[in-house]
Chain A
Amino acid sequence: MVGSVARIARVVMLVGSVLLVGSVAACAGPTDGSDASRTLVVSAAASLAEPFGGLAADLEAQRPGLDVQVNLGSSATLAAQIVDGAPAGVFASAAEAPMDRVAERAVDPRPFATDDLVLAVPAGNPGRVAVTADLVRPELRIGLCATGVPCGDYARNALQDAGVTPSVDTEEPDAGSLLAKVRLGELDVAVLYRTQVRSAGPEVELVELSPSSDIRAVYLIATLRSPDGSPPSDDARAFVDLVLGPGSATLRDAGYGAP
């Protein structure tokens, strides 16, 4: 009996180490060959989907063999992933708090764009939303981003400034899923970023906050150290340089303000 247990233990270790070596080799593969295909993961706030998709393609064109993957989500979720060791090389956050949370890995965060808030309504504005104060109307289906998510915190600040306490029907986990529910016509109104609503297509219309709000979303970008502490990759620095330099034109075209 003891012999068979020992034999089993030996086989477990053998199988385990084979799997381990295999996975380490798989991880190490792309990084040591400089010209081999390699991947840069850019973790970006969901609202940046459009311009960052274009900028990722630009960088791939400039750097053969590079595959830029834009990982979209709420800045809060992305920050939690990065703290937990996500293999991201760049983090673009829609607010300061998530960037602060990844301070151990972020190198020199810089503001690169600003955005402001608007009301997003489905095509035809079925709820006849005209002013910010309309958000108290209980018959309207109203969506915000959740508290702790940048778009949710900005929206609550703006509404508080306007003295409006909305009767919220859903608190969505990120700006993308909130926009989707407006697009489907399931919500009458949501507070979202101007650039996002502008690029949302014909299913979504934009209503200005009135009175206007001076709450502005400030986007920050930083290269990230790897989870084990080694410095950011050359590709990561190139992406950030692109966003802060020539790529800023793309961002202005998409409606983002200069920081």
Chain B
Amino acid sequence: MSGPSGGRPPLLVAVGLLGAAVLVLPVVALLVRVPWSDVGTVLGSTTAREALALSLGTSLAATAVSVLLGVPLAWLLASGTGRPAAIGRAVVLLPIVLPPVVGGVALLAAFGRSGVLGAPLEGVGVVLPFSTAGVVLAQVFVAMPFLVVTVEAALRELDGPRLDAAATLGADGWRAFRQVTLPAAAPAVLAGAALAWARALGEFGATITFAGNLPGRTQTLPLAVYLGAQTEPGTALVLSAVLVVVSLAVLVALRGRWLPGVLRR
């Protein structure tokens, strides 16, 4: 055993363990109930294959969009000061605390048929609700804030002197961003991207509200789990286990490589 455990108050340890049980027990119970002998059959079924492929494709696309839009947004927030930056930060955080269903309703209000942007978009042939692109949009809405928060925290920590030095050496803003800021923030970008990807993979509420549910087009893994739970509990359990394993893998990978550097402070 490492560290002096004698100094820990037993009550605190006990309550802490109880807390751990609340978090761990349901997942363990889920894994116990999975009909492991059926895994091959379930994963071979069209429903599961389509949902898996769709989930992988859309969540990776959502991660890419989140990085492309989120890193500049994080930089904007990190370099901003005063009230506008504070307000901007709060607005960006909103989708994290908002119930995803509300996010879905908001997306319909914006991109739905009678939405502010939806009507003009439909005029030029772009229809997002009930489409795979709509799934990606819903995932970006809920997942990008995780990337922005992670990257922004890292950018704020970057030492000013290094940027000043770059400026003195004649690097313009764009070059300083590309050659100094970005490489230094790379671990945070990777960590943020992984968090965003995990969140996008698990997205349910905004997706079913905004993009509906159609196998092969908008039925991602979480939607297949939800609908399968009603009629084919075995399928739902196997697909749930897939999500658990993938999410765990992300956490384990992050823990060793990037998360400590980002979350230590």
Residues of A within 8 A of B (CB): 1, 4, 7-8, 10-12, 14-16, 19, 74, 76-77, 79-80, 141, 143, 146-149, 168-173, 177, 181, 184-186
Contacts and interface: CB of A to CB of B under 8 A. Distances in A.
A186 B231 contact: no
Nearest to A3: B6
Contact of A181 (B212, B218, B226): B212
A165 B152 CA distance: 51
B15 interface: yes
A24 B133 CA distance: 49
A1 B1 contact: yes
A43 to B, nearest CB: 13
A186 B14 contact: no
Contacts of B14: 8, 11-12, 14-15
Interface of B: 1, 5-6, 10-11, 13-15, 17-18, 108, 112-114, 129-130, 208, 212-215, 218-219, 226-227, 229-233
B231 A172 contact: no
Nearest to A76: B230
Contacts, number: 80
A171 B214 contact: yes
B227 A15 contact: no
A16 B19 CA distance: 11
8 nearest A-B residue pairs (beta carbon): A170-B212, A148-B231, A76-B230, A11-B14, A169-B130, A12-B14, A11-B10, A7-B10
Contact of A15 (B5, B18, B112, B218): B18
B108 A186 contact: yes
Q: Which of B1, B10, B17, B233 has the most CB of A within 10 A?
A: B10
A168 B214 contact: yes
B227 A148 contact: yes
A184 B212 CA distance: 13
Contacts of B11: 11, 15
B212 A173 contact: no
A15 B230 contact: no
A77 B10 CA distance: 43
Contacts of B112: 184-186
Contacts of A12: 14, 17-18
Given A4-B6, A170-B130, A11 B213 contact: no
B213 A170 contact: yes
B158 to A, nearest CB: 43
Contacts of A77: 229-230
24 contacts: A4-B6, A8-B14, A11-B10, A11-B14, A12-B18, A15-B15, A15-B18, A77-B229, A77-B230, A80-B230, A143-B212, A146-B213, A147-B231, A148-B227, A148-B232, A149-B230, A170-B214, A170-B218, A171-B219, A173-B213, A173-B226, A173-B230, A185-B114, A186-B108
B72 to A, nearest CB: 32
A77 to B, nearest CB: 5
Contacts of A10: 10
B10 A4 contact: yes
Given A1-B5, A12-B14, A173-B230, 11 more contacts: A8-B13, A11-B10, A12-B17, A74-B230, A80-B229, A80-B233, A146-B230, A149-B230, A169-B212, A184-B108, A185-B113
Contacts of B212: 143, 169-172, 181
Contacts of A186: 108, 112-113, 129-130
B133 to A, nearest CB: 14
A80 B229 CA distance: 8
Contacts of B114: 184-185
Nearest to A74: B230
B26 to A, nearest CB: 13
Contacts of B230: 74, 76-77, 79-80, 146, 148-149, 173
A12 B11 CA distance: 8
Contacts of A8: 10, 13-14, 17
Q: Which of B108, B208, B212, B214 has the most CB of A within 10 A?
A: B212
A11 B14 CA distance: 6
B5 A4 contact: yes
A176 to B, nearest CB: 13
Nearest to A5: B5
A1 B3 CA distance: 12
Contacts of A4: 5-6, 10
B22 to A, nearest CB: 11
Nearest to A148: B231
Nearest to B229: A80
A141 B208 CA distance: 15
